[in-house]
Amino acid sequence: MKKALQFIFTFIASITLMAQPKTAPKLVVSIVVDQMRADYLTRFSDLYQGGFKTLLENGEIFWNAHYTHSPTYTAPGHASIYTGTDPRFHGIIANDWYVAENGKTTYCLEDENTSPVGTKSKYAKRSPKNILSTTWTDELEWASNKKSKVFAFSLKDRGAICAAGHYGDAAFWLDKSGFVSSNYYMSSLPKWLQNFNKTNNIKSYMSGEWDYLINKKNYPKLLSTEFERIPRGARKADFPYNLSLLYKADTTEIEAFKSTPKGNQILLDVALKVLDMEKLGKHNNRFPDVLALSFSATDYIGHSTGIRSHETIDMYLRLDRQLDTLFHYLNENVGEDNFIVVLTADHGAADNPSQAKIDGMPTDWMAPADLESEFRELIITAGIPSKFILNFSNDQVYLQENDSLKNMEKIVRDALLKHPKIAEAWTKEEIRNSPDPFAKLRRNGSNKSSGQVFYALYPGSIAYYKTGTTHGSGYTYDTHVPVIFYGKIFGSSQNHIERINIKDIAPTLSKILGIAQPSACNGNILPLPIN
């Protein structure tokens, strides 16, 4: 009886919570903040007074949202957000992966059959051909007969292409010529974007100083900046930074820029431009338009200065103000009843282990090259000839196909387990069958292009530069990210504490928009109230 009542209650609740909205949104703004840990919502919340404050006060916040795959990198993260499934099915198992057939490493979105648009750079030969399932943006374009306009922008190609999918109107990413694309999407840049690139060149952004946004005393006291990377053109890893000196010292003309708040500013500027020029959210269609934005400067600064640096905090305070500008524009020009925002992140990040260790935390740092040679030595000592060890990448070992491969996988696993920094190792067969949640993360994050043996360092340990930090593990600090839905159609704001998965975002949007779920979607529809 109790069960039956519970069922009826859940059934009624699900009807009321996910009823079709009276008015469908005319615009979906899908925001990914690269490397945004879930605790960034609360850790700096006293200092937020713009977009993050709006989201915290008025959004539907899922406080316990996690990735269900590992490795946790930018491309697999974005692909999971938009496909509603894991790398195991969408195919983007890492940013780069080793290809045993030719002994080379391939980039997840490289496509030699495309040509660059708006640039001469070979790095713009990109397409979504390796994304093996549809995205919710594909399904929207399909359902609307391409009437929906889907535009995706990021500093990184993977932040844009995974969002625009196979059928979106355009993905644009930044190179030193400005926002560019590939002929997969178009034969030439829209005129308005060509003009934008002329007036908004990187050099013009890199002037003046990057200093504390608000009084320094508001920022938590830092013990040292010893484990922050000093950018070329600066004398120390501390404010103020002279932006033109950083620009002059940067031979690539773009890398320094991407690690400053100006990297997010150019994305905001182009977002306001595309909203205006393409009239996003102003079409009289049954299906909405989409603006997908991936803010990457947060990831670059996290990599170089870590998760507790003043630079990282300042980057988020400025993003808070930048999002405020975006939300004001949307309210005034699209109308508060007509748009929804969904904000999440592609992965989190670890603490800098050397700094955390001083603070008494159980962490460890290793130089990647040292770790690899120690692993190699252990494997050879266990009796595996060196010629069979092909590659170490993405916390995996690739072995040469041979008659005794199955047995060899176990020997390599046991050899790795002898290493003091290794917490766990699995063969490919073990990750397929093990109920261990960490093994499942590996399974979800791999496919037949992955290596044969998988390993995990202890929590908090990273193999990286001594300064800054990285991500990629299956531990909480890398899997736990914010998920917030915001818009008038959701009515009052709510906090949701149940554990949800990032792959739930896509089927939830499919429900709100009244379209099919992406082809390999295996997430759940989130319990959002709809006005």
Catalytic residues: 74
Report the alpha-carbon distance of residue 438 to residue 445 in Å, rounded: 11
Give yes or no for a contact between 54 and 368, defined as CB atoms under 8 angstroms apart: no
First vs last Cα of the chain: how many Å apart?
Answer: 32
Taking the least distance from each CB to Zn ion, the nearer of 175 and 299 is: 299
Taking the least distance from each CB to Zn ion, the nearer of 299 and 430 is: 299
Q: How far is the CB of 290 from Zn ion (least distance, A)?
A: 24
Phi, psi for residue 85 in degrees, rounded to 5:
-150, -175
Taking the least distance from each CB to Zn ion, the nearer of 36 and 317 is: 36
Q: How far is the CB of 250 from Zn ion (least distance, A)?
A: 19
Q: How far is the CB of 51 from Zn ion (least distance, A)?
A: 22
Phi, psi for residue 15 in degrees, rounded to 5:
-65, -45
Residue 514 zone, left/alpha/beta (φ > 0; ψ -120 to 50; rest):
left
Residue number closest to Zn ion, CB atom: 299
Taking the least distance from each CB to Zn ion, the nearer of 346 and 430 is: 346
Single-letter amino acid, residue 85: T
Which residue, 28, 32, 31, is CA-closest to 137?
28
Tokens of 396: 């995996």
Q: How far is the CB of 514 from Zn ion (least distance, A)?
A: 35
Report the alpha-carbon distance of residue 98 to residue 523 in Å, rounded: 28
CA distance to 40, 306, 434, 471, per residue, from 352 (Å): 16, 6, 31, 11
Which 8-state DSSP code applies to residue 334?
I
Q: How far is the CB of 260 from Zn ion (least distance, A)?
A: 16
Report the alpha-carbon distance of residue 429 to residue 392 in Å, rounded: 18
Report the alpha-carbon distance of residue 513 to residue 339 in Å, rounded: 12
List alpha helices for 38-156, DSSP H: 40-43, 51-58, 74-83, 87-90, 136-143
Q: How far is the CB of 343 from Zn ion (least distance, A)?
A: 18
Report the alpha-carbon distance of residue 513 to residue 288 in Å, rounded: 8
Taking the least distance from each CB to Zn ion, the nearer of 71 and 518 is: 71
Taking the least distance from each CB to Zn ion, the nearer of 299 and 409 is: 299
Phi, psi for residue 413 in degrees, rounded to 5:
-55, -50
- Burial of 470: CB neighbours in 10 Å, binned 0-12, 13-18, 19+: buried
Taking the least distance from each CB to Zn ion, the nearer of 474 and 527 is: 474
Give yes or no for a contact between 227 and 465, defined as CB atoms under 8 angstroms apart: no
Taking the least distance from each CB to Zn ion, the nearer of 299 and 320 is: 299
Angle between helix 74-83 and helix 136-143 axes, rounded to 10 deg: 40
Q: How far is the CB of 470 from Zn ion (least distance, A)?
A: 7
Q: How far is the CB of 321 from Zn ion (least distance, A)?
A: 23
Report the alpha-carbon distance of residue 438 to residue 435 in Å, rounded: 9
Longest Cα separation, the chain: 73
Residues that bind Zn ion (CB under 5 A): 299
